Every structure is written in C-alpha cells, then in structure tokens.
Structure 1
Amino acid sequence: MSIALEGLPFILAGIALAAAGYFVPRPYGPALAASGLLFACFCAYFFRNPERVTPDDPKLLFSPGDGRVLSVKKENPEGGDTIRIFLSIFDVHIQRAPCAGTVEDIRLLPGSFVAAMKDEAKLNARNIVKLQTPRGAVEVEQITGLIARRIRCWVKKGDPLQAGERYGLIQFGSQAALHLPPNAKARVQPGDRVAGGLTPVAEWKD
C-alpha cells in the first residue's frame, strides 16, 4: 500500500519530533519521542493510498470515497439524487471517479467550515469536478469540514478519467458528494458503509 505524497511532510515532522526526543532529558524526552512516533504512524495511516480494482461494469456508478452515507435525496430540481458521504479521520481520504468520463469543469467554491457530518456542511468550502459521460454529466464534490480545510485536486479540464481512478484528496475528516443526473438512480441508503471505487452507489436507468 502506498502513501499519498501530501502526507510525507507530516510523517517526516513526526519522525523529526521523535528524533528530537532522544536529546531531551527525562521525563520529557521519552514522551516527546513517543508522541512523534505516534503522530508519524497516524499520518502514514491517514494518508494511505490503497490500490483498488474497480469492477468493469459501465452501468454502475461507484462511490467517490470511503465512509458512511449521510443522505440520499434530490437537492437539485433539475437533477437526480445527491449522495453525501461522511469521511471520518479513520477512512481513506482519496477521492475516485465514480464512472468513466472527461473532466468538463472544475469549480473551487468558498464557504464555511462546519463539521462535515452536519447538513449545513454542503455550504462549506468545496471543490466540484464535473464529468461528462456518454449518458450525461455527473458531478463529484470534495467538501471541507471543521478540521479538514485542504482540498487537493489532481486533475484539470479535459483530462479523461476511468471509473475508480484517483483524482484528489481531502486532508482530515470531511465529506464527499455525488450528484447524479436524472437518468441514474441511487442504490444505497443513509447509514451504508461504502468504499471508494469499489461500492456501486448508483446505476444508469438506460
């Protein structure tokens, strides 16, 4: 299992803190070293970037991230359902394309920093990637939280993406959302656990 490059500065900082602890007299030195090692281990775990094989089924749309489904409801009168997923600090925070498509637009919107499990979090600072597919447009959101305030988006307009392909990262607890077009229907419900690029969360109607 690899680690996202964005995590390396945090891991190295923890290792440096642990190393510094060996030069600090007792009783503070061992505590400092242990704290540094624990921090480095946690960051290595948090920024893990597992390899995954997304099922080859063009009729399905897969979860854009790991976590627990918060809500499945129609938020846009002209669109389909929106699936919102809460990512705790223990979930993988890599975001993946729900289906194959081409990046048509990317919008980074300002907003608040409400706790990601709350309904108001949909107005938090967020990044929206619009994918154009043969069956219609699909939008995926990376949403900040109370602690998670850094969004990394690794794609640009015009980039082709395959289903399950990594496209970004949110640092620490956050939310991901998938906005479906009218010709797709959700296959999950609130409370379901999902895995990015593996769990089918919706399917095309046609």
Structure 2
Amino acid sequence: MGGRSARTGRGATSLMRYAPGVRRFALPAFLAAALFAVIAPPLSLVSLLGGGFVLWFFRDPERRPSAQGIISPADGRVSVVREEGEQIRIGVFMNVTDVHVNRAPFDATVERVTHRSGAHRPAFSKESERNERVDVALQTPEGPAELSLIAGAFARRIHPYIAENDELARGERIGHIDFGSRADVLLPPCYDRSDLLVEEGDTLRAGESVVARRAD
C-alpha cells in the first residue's frame, strides 16, 4: 500500500506536486543525461527528454469539484457505462497524456482494499476486465459503492494510498497507476441512468468533472 503519508503530498515540490515514486523513474534518466553529456551528447538529450516525460507523466495538479454530485475518479475518456445488477459502473480510460493520479468521487469509508493479479491488456478493451487491479469497497452516505484501479498494457504497478477504515473526502487523492490505465466507479444503488451526466466518449478531469447527480 502507498500508506497515508502518500496522501499528504510526499513527493511534492514548491512548484509542482508529483505522484509518489517519480524519483524512481526520473532520477536515473537525469543521471544518465549527465553521464552522456561527456561521452555521447546526443544520448544526453534523449535522456533529458525521457526524464522530462517522466516528470510530466507523474504531475499531480490541484483540482476542485466543479459542482455538486459524484465526480470522476480519473482524467481521461469514458470507456464504460453499464448496469451491474442494481448499480451502474462508469469506467474512465487514461491515455498517456492524462494525469494518472486518481481521486475519491464522494465522501466514503473504506471497507476493504483488494489486490488481484491478472493480465496487462489494453485498458480500453473488453479483455481488460481480467487485468491486474485493485478494488476498493466503500460505504457512502448513499449506500455501498466501489472503486477499481485497473492496470493496462504498459502499467505494472498500482499504488493505492488508502487502507481499510480510512475516511475519504470527495476529491481526495486515493492512488495512482504507473504508466496506466483505467479507473472505475460503481455508483451507489440509489443512482440510475437518469442521474448520469456523462456517456461513453466524454472527456473528464479527475476530482473536477461531475459524472452523476441525483435530482431529488
């Protein structure tokens, strides 16, 4: 688990916050750039670009909800909207240009965090249901819900920042996926299709875009 320390901004700088673990990928690239500057300048440029890409990929900007309602757990494109029994699942696919820090869609209590090993298929495909994932069972003021962080073709590490019995605030950072891929929210049972504000293909911002809101 990432631990509660990751939720308080470890890995941030005075200018930009980054997801925990950024140094593990960025530092080797910048060290290589310094070495290659002496022996192979063209490779130094490649290493600098690689390090810059890592910093950009692990960026973690501040976000604020745009309105009342359930907010998106991820940046990206809505790839799944479907009914599962009495609940509705909304899946958001994160491509390489998106922020990969995930956020709580609502106030909730964490009941269980479960890691499941699996494949690494493209996260936008139907086969991604069998991918490695972390499922977070939640209890919200409106009933039971669930978050799922799903690895993709290139993602190899899912980093939840939360643990059982944690109290989550709407919009709070709850984890990130290294170079991956999809985040789902299974809405509480009181929500139906008429409450949805998004459809497949829509582009969302984590912690900001509202995906569902009850009329009453």
What TM-score does the superposition give when structure 1 sets the normalisation length? 0.92
Q: Provide the rounded CA distance (Å) in 2 between the counterparts of 1:205 and 1:184.
A: 10
Q: In the alignment, is residue 195 of structure 1 matched against residue 213 of structure 2?
A: no
2:78 aligned partner = 69
Q: Percent identity?
A: 37
Contact 1:65 1:194 in 2 (8 A): yes
**1:53 corresponds to which residue?**
64
Q: Name the CA distance, whole Å, in 2 between partners of 1:203 and 1:181.
A: 11
Count of residues in Structure 1 that have an aligned counterpart in Structure 2: 198
Q: Deviations over 1:26-73 (max 9, x none)?
A: xxx11210011001100000000111122463xx11000000001211
User: Which residues of 2 match residues 138-157 of structure 1 at below 5 A?
Assistant: 138-157=145-164
Structure 2 unaligned regions, length at least 5: 1-15
Aligned structure 1 segments of 4 or more residues deviating by more than 3 angstroms: none
Matches within 5 A, 1:163-202: 163-185=170-192, 186-202=196-212
Unaligned runs of 5+ in 1: none
**Which residue identity is paired with 1:176?**
A
1 or 2, which has the higher strand percentage?
A: 1
From 5, 29, 46, the counterpart of 1:35: 46
Distance of 2:156 and 2:208 partners within structure 1: 26
Task: Give the one of 13, 21, 26 matched to 1:6.
Answer: 21
Match of 1:19 in 2: 34
RMSD value, Cα: 1.3
TM-score (norm 2): 0.88
